[in-house]
Structure 1
Amino acid sequence: MDTATPSPAVRAATGDVSPSRVRIESIDLLRGIIIVIMALDHVHDFFGALDASPTNLATTTAGLFFTRWITHFCAPVFFLLTGTGACLTLQRMSKGELSRFLLTRGLWLIVLEVVVMRFALQFNVDYQITLLTVLWALGWAMIVLAGLIYVPTSALIALGVVMVAGHNLLDDVQADAFGPFAPLWSVLHAPGFVHTGAHAVFVAYPLLPWLGVTALGYALGHSYGWSAERRRTLLLRLGLGLSLGFVLLRLLNMYGDPQPWSVQHSPLWTLLSFLNTQKYPPSLLFLLMTLGPALPLLCAFDANTPRLLRPALVYGKVPLFFYVLHFYLIHLLAVAACYLRYGDVSGMFRSPDLGHFPFTAPPGWDVGLPAIYLLWACVVLALYPLCRWYVGLKRRRKNWWLSYL
């Protein structure tokens, strides 16, 4: 979503004095870094061992664990910045216009998830298995936010905190307890199937905590109307506070994540156990662990954009465009690799169940971490010219549909 300057203070902070629309570079930069890191996870999804869990301490390696762990930051930061971007958009839209935009864009993201992205993941249209993931949850977050923008900021913050910090109180509630309404519980809190049979639908991103993160991101957007010094102080203190809260709460092993940590056979593996928090749904500790370090980064980028990281701005300005394209490119590379290695690509178009998702890989498919990192770099670099072209197109043209991709 485009972000516009909310005040002269923000205009000064970004160093941009354009009379019409100004983007917040710190937000674009963090979003760009996050979207690039996210691509690493998806390259591993297509080229790693599909039947192995990178966070299962009994079977993983330290390298594989941290490859997965670093990508944990992506979804929380993206949901947070979605809310922040919505708040900043109020500077060029009325609340009514923003509400309608969030509603229509949210619906569009849901359509993208079940049509465009489903095909990108599976390269078939049989709909034997449909996985509802991040775009589905982002779409609903926008739809709900379309109504929440009318709520007073203090009440919105309270609601967001309750959803983020309190949803783990519901961990012991099972979907079966709701009888015929069990699928609704999978939508709200516990990942699970909402439809089974020949055309199964699995919700991987339950909504409650993600709605809370988006609401808090919207509230955070108001800080971009403050002076730069006040905003940076908030970002730094809030980030350090969340990080410290993660460490202290995790040490207690009492609340915030259904999986307690434990002392392992070495300090490194004890650290892995400590960091191994739950993403599906994102536990309180998972969100503290990821959002805590992200906010000081946002503070640092607010003061200065490091020259070395400036290329990430391109991806951060068109994140949805990159998101859609990179899945198609990764899957096409996987098909090509399968043909070159095995001479048969039939399994690349079959995903009959969650055990064979996003495709049915042949034996010995895992290419290893070095190759995965190399492929990741190739995917990111290959899409840079297209993303740069699209950034220019959006800058030159003001067609309404450009704001939806």
Structure 2
Amino acid sequence: MQPETVLKQRIQSIDVLRGLVMLIMALDHTREFFHIQGMTGDPTDLATTTPFLFFTRWITHYCAPTFVFLSGVSVYLAGLKRTPKEMAAFLIKRGLWLILVELVLLSLAFTLNPLFNVLVMQVIWATGVSMIILGLMIRLPMMVITVTGCILFLGHNLLDYVALPEKGAWALLLKMLFTARGTVIQLNATHFIFCLYAVLPWTGVMFTGYTFGQLYKPGFEAKKRQNYLRLAGLIMIVLFVILRFTNLYGDPSPWKLQRTWVFSLISFLNTSKYPCSLLYLFMTIGPALILLAYLENIQNKFTAVLNTYGSVPFFYYVPHFYIIRTLSVILFFASGYTSKDIVTPNMPFLFRPLNFGYNLPVVYLIWLFIIASLYFPCRWFSAYKKTHKQWWLSYL
């Protein structure tokens, strides 16, 4: 396959924002495997956390919602180059591919268990299923997709007020679709599925992103688009503050005044990710939309670096887990652990003893090393994708 004579055009602001959240996302994964309390403490537990630890976790909340939202925008833009039938087939196939990657490549990276005793279902799983649902609906009018997205986005917390079944197949289905927050599904005596992401709230995020994709269709005035993005972001932030302050709706965990103003602020910002609440989505997507608007007018060396990562998100995402786990194995043995410490009882992750790890400044240094190690590979693959058109590139 010969390179195309004209480079493929991408929307820089989308890639820059995606690159930013992809880099921040790696911070949370680094914390989980290298922080001394990564497997024993909860950084959002107000009784035990510190402001620095909470911020390290909280800032990464912006990643998954922004990533899934921008995936919806990208689906709309990809659809401009395909027929609805072609787009439906592509989304279904890519969704199935993402689910396979989650269950095989990413579960292996997380656990380092070649027997796959534990399968982990996270954001890539939710993104894949959402793509399949969007693929099945892609030939419907835009208004139907928009309304469906709004119902899921705005209304899924209504289930907080409903007594749902706790046992049986129906209960399991509802958990996987709406309420999963670390749901363990037992396949047999030795194999389990660990479902962290309830699908349909994230489907609402993707459908909303798909609707916003119309702002980027050819001929749409840039200034008008930026105004719409800023206005939508501002509305989300205002609604977040009002609903969170009043504890009326949108999050199952109300905030409370704490012993100091810092911890009161932490309580206010400590919205629910598992499953993602409406206020969690307002808190994260609102600022992301405003930033997306302003990024259209910013071009410098830093945004160029972010653009490199954001233009190849899949190529970055999967290897970064393997780099994290390879480094964790090296430091595992360097710290004096031996083969008898590889397995920790009642823990799905190999090479991760409960008392292994470092303080937060060291975690940040490891994080910087990990993302830096992927810069040149990402730059190479980004250039390759822009100048080639093999069919398999659209799946990476």
* Matched residue SS, 1:256: coil
In structure 2, the partner of 1:8 is none
Matched residues in 2 for 1:176 and 1:359: separation?
34
Matched residues in 1 for 2:90 and 2:339: separation?
41
Matched residues in 2 for 1:357 and 1:367: separation?
20
CA shift, 1:203, in A, is 1.2
1:207 aligns with 2:194: no
Q: Equivalences for 1:147-162 in 2 at 5 Å? A: 147-162=136-151
In structure 2, the partner of 1:380 is 371
> Which of 70, 84, 89 is the aligned partner of 1:100?
89
Matched residues in 1 for 2:166 and 2:265: separation?
36
In structure 1, the partner of 2:135 is 146
Matched residues in 2 for 1:211 and 1:26: separation?
23
1:85 aligns with 2:85: no
1:330 aligns with 2:324: yes
Q: 1:20 to 1:330 in 2, by over 3 A?
A: closer
Matched residues in 2 for 1:332 and 1:296: separation?
37
> Which of 215, 224, 243 is the aligned partner of 1:223?
215
CA shift, 1:352, in A, is 6.3
- What amino acid sits opposite 1:231 in the alignment? R
Matched residues in 2 for 1:352 and 1:107: separation?
33
Q: Which range is displaced more, 112-121 or 358-367?
A: 358-367
- Decide whether the 8 Å contact of 1:129 with 1:351 is kept in 2: no
CA shift, 1:172, in A, is 4.6
In structure 2, the partner of 1:3 is none
- What amino acid sits opposite 1:404 in the alignment? Y
- Decide whether the 8 Å contact of 1:186 with 1:193 is kept in 2: no
CA shift, 1:129, in A, is 1.9
Q: 1:106 to 1:346 in 2, by over 3 A?
A: farther
> Which of 389, 399, 403 is the aligned partner of 2:380?
389
Q: Which range is displaced more, 159-168 or 268-277?
A: 159-168
Q: Equivalences for 1:348-363 in 2 at 5 Å? A: 348=342, 350=343, 353=346, 356-359=347-350, 361-362=352-353
Q: Which runs of 5+ in 2 are unaligned?
A: none
Matched residues in 2 for 1:37 and 1:141: separation?
23
Q: Which runs of 5+ in 1 are unaligned?
A: 1-17
1:288 aligns with 2:282: yes
Q: Equivalences for 1:223-372 in 2 at 5 Å? A: 223-225=215-217, 226-348=220-342, 350=343, 353=346, 356-359=347-350, 361-362=352-353, 364-372=355-363
Matched residues in 2 for 1:276 and 1:265: separation?
16
* Matched residue SS, 2:257: coil
In structure 2, the partner of 1:127 is 116
CA shift, 1:177, in A, is 4.5
In structure 1, the partner of 2:24 is 37
CA shift, 1:395, in A, is 2.1
Name the Cα RMSD after superposition. 1.7
Deviations 1:351-390 (A, max 9, x none): 764xx24336335313010001000000010110111111
CA shift, 1:165, in A, is 1.2
- Decide whether the 8 Å contact of 1:98 with 1:146 is kept in 2: yes
Deviations 1:317-341 (A, max 9, x none): 1101110000000001111011011
- What amino acid sits opposite 1:329 in the alignment? I
Q: Which range is displaced more, 69-78 or 118-127?
A: 118-127
Q: 1:213 to 1:396 in 2, by over 3 A?
A: same
In structure 2, the partner of 1:61 is 50
In structure 2, the partner of 1:190 is 179
- What amino acid sits opposite 1:230 in the alignment? K
* Matched residue SS, 2:223: helix
* Matched residue SS, 1:201: strand
Q: 1:265 to 1:177 in 2, by over 3 A?
A: closer
- What amino acid sits opposite 1:208 in the alignment? L
Deviations 1:123-174 (A, max 9, x none): 1122222221111111101101102222222222221111111111112546
What TM-score, normalized to structure 2?
0.93
Deviations 1:209-253 (A, max 9, x none): 100000010000011122111111100000011011100110111
- What amino acid sits opposite 1:52 in the alignment? G
- What amino acid sits opposite 2:232 in the alignment? L
- What amino acid sits opposite 2:227 in the alignment? T
Percent identity, please.
41
* Matched residue SS, 1:73: helix
- Decide whether the 8 Å contact of 1:128 with 1:352 is kept in 2: no
CA shift, 1:303, in A, is 2.5
* Matched residue SS, 2:119: strand
CA shift, 1:111, in A, is 0.5
- What amino acid sits opposite 2:270 in the alignment? N
* Matched residue SS, 1:271: helix
Q: Which range is displaced more, 136-145 or 193-202?
A: 193-202
1:400 aligns with 2:394: no
In structure 2, the partner of 1:6 is none
